[in-house]
Structure 1
């Protein structure tokens, strides 16, 4: 019986050069086209994808199918010893390439699919992601699953045999039933390219013939597996990493994950497409949504971790268990499934020369030997709408990737390892995934012994070493072991393919390293305590590298790019000693106060002893041998119920001890270190207590001074603000600046219960109620004069009396003490709440706002226009508004309490919905920032915000950091992530992909500039692949996932 003609998608890669490629040319390659199978019983693959362009290839016909010569093929296995050192054994000199039917012609071009315009409205999905406060809900609606959907109705196709056992057995095995080939109505294809202009691993490439067939085996010959040498892989990866990723619109919404059973996710993204009822039906297939033109390269490691190969893996490496389903059922079920699968992939009427029973037997044996099935994991979420499915990207990309299989086993060179078995399973999974185009993607086995590994360093990268973090307390974010720094992660910054958890930990350590506060009191993190204790041990092995190094020059802030490992260049360094890059001890710390959740307040007895001792003790470190450790409750752990007499006395006397102990600031004096796990969260409560006590200042001033003058990050909770409000009165009463000579340093302060009751039960001051006070003209008893008018009641002075009353304090309660995150000296990243608080903006000196998709409350109130002249410039499409603000009253801005903002750039029609495109507005935003930066010599401060400050605005800030600091995407992402402090930045999946494209654009500009100057360079268009970075982001987010 003649098999019906089936469409085969012609595939050509992007235009290739050793350098970057213009995105506009890539867009033009996306043309609709399809080819056809021959009616011949042999499987025929066209080698030339176009009849109109490109050089024609050889007309010879070469079959990938051979007639079985042994009736005992069923029992034969791919287990004979062969030598992979010779990529072309003598018996394999003949080619096994697919055959071309010269008499067949291409079908006509398919018309493009019409798409409706984007939906008129969408939902914002910004969520709070606060570390330590609550766990982020990255996967609350769609927990990851490794199971493939059950019981989907199968669909048959003429010419293919229907097997009744499939539906029954797939339910038991939890494997997706195979459906016949789906409609190609929505299929897209490249226009034809020259063979030299496509991925060298592509079967249409002129280089493909150079890949020798794998050693003789019936199963490998049928599946046409190939060997790839290090030099060949180097050439392929060089082409691959210098070719742009497919356009964003081509990859989405498919990358979000569109499970057939997830009606909510599908309807969210496809509601406005052509024939939505058909696309949303349970029986419909979403294969037409799959980006058929996308082509990735994925290396699959099949060996377990062994010490001798610990340092290097191939780039883009994933483990087999990340993409293939495991065997989790009886052997009989495996046999039944595979025996039913193979005839569907190779119908006997089309492939009469294949011994299906023997092929199935070989695949069954591979399943039993490896423990994996020939099926990809389907991790698309089955319920809920999720826009941040980073955890499924490896599985998504596996469906459109060429594989390079390798291992580090000693038997790899003889061919007796499991690489061949895994390669066959992957190839069957590829054919299952793309049955209309079974050889669109290929599987290669790495012949690593044929050439020296050192000769091709560009194909290798460091192995992830974050496993050593499992030995550390996860709550101690800056805790590090000296031995690990030299043994496990010496080269972590030489590669951006792995170790993001380690990089984040190291960057946090440097960013929050110890700095001086008041007198000789220092703030720091666990690393500062660790390195000082190592110094005090006087270990001869570390004496040369660990020394007290006082800070010199101007005090640096945590947002200073100089306080970063990510901005340093380690490209030329080998065997990097990270200990020398981390902060050394900065002073003679001998009094340590550790703030943590399990701590209690210091006892009165201990505080009394220390106060008495250090009233009469020298402050020279050379004369003081004692080292003291105190514990103090962390921020967020103290409430009103803890404000008992003994606890409040302990707080005051702890501040008194710190002041006394650290009173000498001369060189060589003893100092105190207040530290916590990350250097800013748990210690914030004690720090504000100490500043109010030592400097006799209110809470608002202490917060601003810590941020602006001392340059320290901090994070407080709402409960902290309430407690600190009460403690402010008590701490300032006993401040040395108030008591002067009346203070008795040798004794702890004794506070009566009556005094405490007066403080705790004292009503709120008028100032703190200012924002809720009744306007003057509405108060009972207010009589307007004959000359009074509405305009007079709203003049500048009246506006001040009604709105500024208590504003100094109200912003602390409004924002719960939190300030926007300072990412760069001129860039703040915050929320809509921050943007709506004019007092905070004024105090921080922020004069420019970029509102990404949100509207400011104060900007839309008519009263604001009574005191300001506002002009608006709007772009032609209405998506960008530039709002200029000039106060009418001269004293309006001079008070520092009102609107000091001079301009607002507002981006309209931009939601965090995984659909809206931010990249179009990005150049205009960054141009605006650059213009203001140049005009003010970097002194103008911007607040970039969306609703929460984790997705839309975070994406803009990452792009600004990339351009400003000349960093790649991974560097900029980690730089912003660390400085957002307790808020986890989470640009949605589409925004992250747009950042990839933006990074490509920026790097292309750099490469072109260097080429124009004839400067040598080795940069690639991408330093990391899409699915690899998604995997690293998944690991970073893992501690915050529920359950």
Structure 2
């Protein structure tokens, strides 16, 4: 096989949209070795018959180093002697990866080996064809024959597969840039490192922004480097579990250092944040105060945190003209503000309690108000564990009317709205204020909001959906329930019936590795798009918010942002915060098919534009509306109220063929939000090929990964957390 032939075969493979029923439950690993797995998926205990499917697996055969060559020759000599002494010679066979006992819907680790047994194999070496590559090809051929004979013996059927060897060296592949992952100089090219991209996505989401005057919240990557301090931070406070809350001595020493720095001519002249390097920064560590359980711990930690909040406010927002009685020349008579950065490793977990405490203290807010202020006004994503809500309530109720600062008298705080509010009697709270925060006292509130994936799209769990007051507080107007209805409890049902919330209730979708989502995917995606066009906000949920609902969100993100599955997955994964998204194997297979469908939809619209341009007499392209409103569908589009009561599942989706459903145009403005999460726009997005929203600029066909390779990358990424 030449490089050109391989490129053609690879393109044909990428264009396939194979229904899940062709390869599942086979890919779940129902070989008969795991009785529980076979029983759950109703596969014969002797093993699932091999699918009538031909995949593609590429194997890179590197040339051995001299040391490896010597070792191989030694082993070859030993093997030859062993074969001479034996009557029976073993043949090559495919590796059978071990499975964990019990039922597993996410067998990503076994997919590369499993998928190879139903694939044509392509052997490639950067140096071209040589004896070693041919030998490796022969071994794979032997393994295929062994697998074929084993399946015949067990009456499992299946196809016979081929082994190809690429005859050309790396130079020939340079004509096909989308196939090159690393160029001739060893530089990565058109590839995504899953670990690096996940880290970049998290840093981009949590990059430092202001939550109050001169108080910023961010991740540890925002801490100034050796010679750069673009945000002009003076104080960096890192929150983590192993630290303690700074005591009065540390705060006093920090104040003295800042006073001395303020006395320098450059500062005393009022230049303010001049972007100096971090050598003059104050670095403090603070406990995340997470997981406290005892009342005694609550009291001390609350006192320490509030004292720190008072110190931060005094540093960030000193009185404009403060008089001092100090005789020390180092203490200026006019205080200058210091910009403070609160940061932690991920930018949204360990800093959450301190950030909320500071907003309560500095802005005079109640705890529910601080939640909404940080989420809505400051536009920060944050995560609070349910176990920490009790401590936050203690902080709210312990806010003193006067905090004794451990610094020079000139840094004492003037009365703030927070101190005035804390001094007031609890009886002064109005019934209206209490009712407005009913979401916070709702037993279903678990300490964290649903994850904001896009400005109008949230991903959460069932408890989020069953808290209509919280949905209202966040401005959420539409709900997509995937397999777990949000209409049953009286409050949620009443909100839907009153028209305050529109609910798309997708029924008969279990997270069991058996029920598909492809037939419901389109309905949900078009529903979300309709909500976006009307200016609404949407919550997509299932029971936990990691599999079914995540699959729907991924499908929408691919279309709205014009991004591939790989990049959409890494974006959504990072924005789900402390919840690890885990669509199972079958859903990922369907998402790969959906990616192909969205790409084909965009190509179809581009072809229509070209044809219309050719038919236009003056050569100008008129605007074409490719939505369903402009093209009559075979069945009428249901309004939101009817969609709300339309069950999608066994009764109205699975019975229809996927091909018939895909024949209709997708009612989504593909690429409407391309580039928006990354701060750039895509001009003429309708004229660009699918994948134009990629932050890395990598073409979509370069990120259409082989199934086995994709699963291997996901498994490696998940291993960092399990």
* TM bin (shorter chain): 0.7 to 0.9
Q: Name the SS of the counterpart of 1:950 in structure 2.
A: coil
Q: 1:257, 1:710 → 2: CA distance?
A: 47
Give the 5 Å matches for 1:68-79: none
Q: 2:179, 2:702 → 1: CA distance?
A: 15
1:522 to 216, 220, 232: 216
Aligned 8 A contact 2:60 2:124 in 1: yes
Aligned 8 A contact 1:1000 1:1021 in 2: no
Q: 2:531, 2:158 → 1: CA distance?
A: 55
- How far residue 233 of structure 1 moved from its aligned partner, in angstroms, is 2.1
Mean CA deviation greater in 976-985 or 649-658 = 649-658
Q: Name the SS of the counterpart of 1:924 in structure 2.
A: helix
Residue 807 (str. 1) matches residue 438 (str. 2): yes
2:596 match: 1000
Give the 5 Å matches for 1:326-475: 335=83, 340=88, 374-379=92-97, 381=99, 383-408=101-126, 415-416=130-131, 418-435=132-149, 440-449=160-169, 452-462=172-182
- How far residue 647 of structure 1 moved from its aligned partner, in angstroms, is 4.8
Deviation track 1:747-779 (CA, whole Å, cap 9, x = no partner) reads: 699xxxxxxxxx9xxxxx8999x9xxxxxxxxx
Distance change in 2, residues 1:904/1:735 (3 Å) = farther
2:467 match: 837
Q: 2:246, 2:311 → 1: CA distance?
A: 11
Residue 268 (str. 1) matches residue 40 (str. 2): yes
2:198 match: 504
Deviation track 1:458-507 (CA, whole Å, cap 9, x = no partner) reads: 432239xxxxxxxxxxxxxxxxxxxxxxx99x756x33xx4111111111
Q: 2:81, 2:595 → 1: CA distance?
A: 48
1:627 match: 281
2:294 match: 640
1:907 match: 506
Q: 2:170, 2:458 → 1: CA distance?
A: 53
Distance change in 2, residues 1:254/1:623 (3 Å) = closer
Aligned 8 A contact 2:254 2:282 in 1: no
- How far residue 632 of structure 1 moved from its aligned partner, in angstroms, is 0.3
Deviation track 1:396-436 (CA, whole Å, cap 9, x = no partner) reads: 11102222223356xx66x35x3233222111001111236
Aligned 8 A contact 1:404 1:443 in 2: yes
1:978 match: 574
Aligned 8 A contact 1:614 1:660 in 2: no
Distance change in 2, residues 1:339/1:395 (3 Å) = farther
Deviation track 1:926-972 (CA, whole Å, cap 9, x = no partner) reads: 222222322x2xx2111111000001111111111111111111121
Give the 5 Å matches for 1:638-717: 638-640=292-294, 643=297, 647-663=301-317, 670-717=338-385
Distance change in 2, residues 1:512/1:662 (3 Å) = same
Distance change in 2, residues 1:746/1:837 (3 Å) = same
Q: 1:438, 1:885 → 2: CA distance?
A: 53
2:660 match: none
Aligned 8 A contact 1:230 1:451 in 2: no
Q: Name the SS of the counterpart of 2:498 in structure 1.
A: strand
Give the 5 Å matches for 1:886-1035: 886=498, 901-934=500-533, 936=534, 939-1014=535-610, 1020=701, 1023-1035=704-716
Deviation track 1:715-759 (CA, whole Å, cap 9, x = no partner) reads: 1123321112112223353479xx9xxx9554699xxxxxxxxx9
Residue 535 (str. 1) matches residue 227 (str. 2): yes
Q: 1:655, 1:864 → 2: CA distance?
A: 38
Distance change in 2, residues 1:525/1:303 (3 Å) = farther
1:291 match: 51
Aligned 8 A contact 2:460 2:539 in 1: yes
Q: 2:410, 2:520 → 1: CA distance?
A: 61
2:622 match: none
Q: Name the SS of the counterpart of 1:982 in structure 2.
A: coil
Aligned 8 A contact 1:596 1:634 in 2: yes
2:247 to 560, 579, 603: 603
Q: Name the SS of the counterpart of 1:534 in structure 2.
A: coil
Q: 1:707, 1:396 → 2: CA distance?
A: 44
- How far residue 973 of structure 1 moved from its aligned partner, in angstroms, is 1.1
Aligned 8 A contact 2:28 2:105 in 1: yes
Distance change in 2, residues 1:264/1:438 (3 Å) = closer
Distance change in 2, residues 1:303/1:885 (3 Å) = farther
Q: 2:572, 2:158 → 1: CA distance?
A: 43
Q: Name the SS of the counterpart of 1:461 in structure 2.
A: coil
Aligned 8 A contact 2:386 2:448 in 1: no
- Which has the larger Rg? 1
Q: 1:903, 1:336 → 2: CA distance?
A: 76
Distance change in 2, residues 1:709/1:338 (3 Å) = farther
2:488 match: 860
- How far residue 806 of structure 1 moved from its aligned partner, in angstroms, is 7.3
Q: 1:851, 1:438 → 2: CA distance?
A: 39
Residue 1037 (str. 1) matches residue 705 (str. 2): no
Distance change in 2, residues 1:1020/1:746 (3 Å) = closer
2:692 match: none
Aligned 8 A contact 1:237 1:459 in 2: no
Q: 2:246, 2:358 → 1: CA distance?
A: 15
Question: What TM-score do you get using the length of structure 1 for normalisation?
Answer: 0.51
- How far residue 438 of structure 1 moved from its aligned partner, in angstroms, is 11
Distance change in 2, residues 1:245/1:654 (3 Å) = same
- How far residue 669 of structure 1 moved from its aligned partner, in angstroms, is 5.9
2:233 match: 589
1:246 match: 18
Unaligned runs of 5+ in 1: 1-227, 272-278, 307-326, 343-362, 364-373, 464-486, 537-547, 549-584, 750-758, 760-764, 771-796, 871-883, 888-900
- How far residue 661 of structure 1 moved from its aligned partner, in angstroms, is 1.7
Deviation track 1:250-309 (CA, whole Å, cap 9, x = no partner) reads: 1111111103132211111127xxxxxxx33xxx343x2x11323323233344699xxx
Aligned 8 A contact 2:317 2:337 in 1: no
Q: Name the SS of the counterpart of 1:1039 in structure 2.
A: coil
- How far residue 380 of structure 1 moved from its aligned partner, in angstroms, is 5.8
Aligned 8 A contact 1:401 1:441 in 2: yes
Distance change in 2, residues 1:662/1:977 (3 Å) = same
1:828 match: 458
Distance change in 2, residues 1:591/1:852 (3 Å) = same
Aligned 8 A contact 2:298 2:391 in 1: no
- How far residue 451 of structure 1 moved from its aligned partner, in angstroms, is 5.2
RMSD: 3.9
Give the 5 Å matches for 1:748-787: none
1:199 match: none
Deviation track 1:143-166 (CA, whole Å, cap 9, x = no partner) reads: xxxxxxxxxxxxxxxxxxxxxxxx
